Amino acid sequence: MWDYTPIVKDHFLNPRNVGDIPDADAVGEVGSLACGDALKLYLKLDDNKEKIVDAKFQTFGCASAIASSSALTEMVKGKTLDEALAVSNQDIAEFLGGLPDEKMHCSVMGQEALEVAIFKYRGLELPEHDAEHDHGHAYPDYEGTLVCKCFGITDTFLKKVIADNHLTTSEQVTNFTKAGGACGSCIPKIKELIAEVLGQAQEAATKPKLSNLKKMQLVQEVLERDIRPMLRADGGDLELIDIDGDHVQIAFRKACAGCASSGNTAKFVEMKLRELVYDGLRVQEV
Amino acid sequence: MQVIYLDNNATTKVDEAVFEEMKPYFCELYGNPSSMHYFGGQVQSKTVEARKRVADLLGASPDEIIFTACGTESDNTAIRSALEVLPDRRHIITSRVEHPAVLTQCRNLTAKGYRITEIGVDGAGRLDMEEYKKAIDDDTAIVSFMWANNETGVIFPVEEAAAIAKKNGALFHTDAVQAVGKIPINMAASKIDMLSLSGHKLHAPKGIGALYVRKGTPFRPLMVGGHQEKSRRAGTENAAAIIALGKACQLAGEFMEAENTTVKAKCERLEKELLAAIPHARINGGGADRLPNTTSIAFEFVEGEAILLLLSELGICASSGSACTSGSLEPSHVLRAMGVPFTCAHGSIRFSLSRYTTDAEVDAVIKEMPPIIARLRQMSPFGREFLK
Q: Which residue has the higher pLDDT, A68 or A199?
A: A68
Q: Residue A135's pLDDT is what?
A: 36
Choose the closest CB to A33 out of B111, B343, B379.
Answer: B343
Q: Has B249 been annotated as catalytic?
A: no
% of residues, chain A, pLDDT over 70: 90
Assigned CATH class of B4-10+256-386 = alpha beta
Q: Provide the shortest C-alpha distance from residue A176 to chain B (in Å).
A: 12
Q: Residue A208's pLDDT is what?
A: 56
Q: Which of the four pLDDT bands, split at 50, 70 and 90, describes residue A137? A: very low
Asked if residues B160 and B232 have their Cβ atoms less than 8 Å apart, the reply is: no
Chain A residues with beta carbon closer than 8 angstroms to that of B328: 181-182
Q: Map residue B350 onto helix, strand or coil.
A: strand
Would you identify the CATH topology of the domain B16-251?
Aspartate Aminotransferase; domain 2 (3.40.640)
- For CA atoms B180, B181, B185, B186, the dihedral sign is positive
Q: Where are the domains of chain B?
A: 4-10+256-386, 16-251
Would you identify the CATH topology of the domain A212-285?
GMP Synthetase; Chain A, domain 3 (3.30.300)
Q: Residue A138's pLDDT is what?
A: 57
User: Looking at the predicted structure, is the pLDDT value of residue A133 above 60?
Assistant: no
Q: Residue A141's pLDDT is what?
A: 63
- A-contacting residues in B 183-212 (Cβ below 8 Å): none
Q: Provide the shortest C-alpha distance from residue B308 to chain A (in Å).
A: 10
Q: Which residue has the higher pLDDT, B375 or A277?
A: B375
Asked if residues A16 and A43 have their Cβ atoms less than 8 Å apart, the reply is: no
User: Looking at the predicted structure, is the pLDDT value of residue A183 above 80?
Assistant: no
Q: Which H helix or E strand runs over B275?
A: helix B264-277
Contact A36 B384 (CB under 8 A): no
Q: Provide the shortest C-alpha distance from residue A174 to chain B (in Å).
A: 9
What is the tens place of the pLDDT at every residue in A155-167? 888 988 888 888 8
Q: Provide the shortest C-alpha distance from residue B128 to chain A (in Å).
A: 24
Choose the closest CB to A60 out of B108, B328, B380.
Answer: B380
Q: Residue A136's pLDDT is what?
A: 41
What is the tens place of the pLDDT at every residue in A30-57? 988 777 889 999 999 999 999 999 999 9
Regarding beta strands B4-5 and B65-68, do their DSSP bridges make them parallel or antiparallel, or are they unpaired?
A: unpaired
d(CA A83, CA B291): 57
Contact B379 A174 (CB under 8 A): no
- A-contacting residues in B 310-369 (Cβ below 8 Å): 310, 313, 322-325, 327-331, 342-343, 346
Residues A34-64 as b/e (b if ≥16 CB within 10 A, e otherwise) read bbbbbbbbbbbbeeeeebbebbbbbbbbbbb
Q: Residue A127's pLDDT is what?
A: 40
Let me know if the fold of B4-10+256-386 is the same as that of B16-251: no
DSSP category for residue A51? B
d(CA A138, CA A153): 6
Contact A15 B378 (CB under 8 A): no
Q: Which H helix or E strand runs over B47?
A: helix B38-58
C-alpha to C-alpha distances, B320 to B7, B204, B350, nearest whole angstrom:
10, 24, 6
Contact A40 B383 (CB under 8 A): no
Tens digit of pLDDT at every position of chain B (388 positions):
899 999 999 999 999 999 999 999 999 999 999 999 999 999 999 999 999 999 999 999 999 999 999 999 999 999 999 999 999 999 999 999 999 999 999 999 999 999 999 999 999 999 999 999 999 999 999 999 999 999 999 999 999 999 999 999 999 999 999 999 999 999 999 999 999 999 999 999 999 999 999 999 999 999 999 999 999 999 999 999 999 999 999 999 999 999 999 999 999 999 999 999 999 999 999 999 999 999 999 999 999 999 999 999 999 999 987 666 555 667 889 999 999 887 788 899 999 999 999 999 999 999 999 999 999 999 998 877 776 6
Chain A residues with beta carbon closer than 8 angstroms to that of B381: 29, 38-40, 58-60
Q: Residue A124's pLDDT is what?
A: 80
Q: Residue A264's pLDDT is what?
A: 78
d(CA B275, CA B271): 6
What is the tens place of the pLDDT at every residue in A95-110? 999 999 888 888 899 9
d(CA A249, CA A239): 9
Multiple choice CATH, A6-200, 3.20.20.70, 1.20.1250.30, 3.90.1010.10, 3.30.40.230: 3.90.1010.10
Q: Where are the domains of chain A?
A: 6-200, 212-285
Q: Residue B95's pLDDT is what?
A: 98
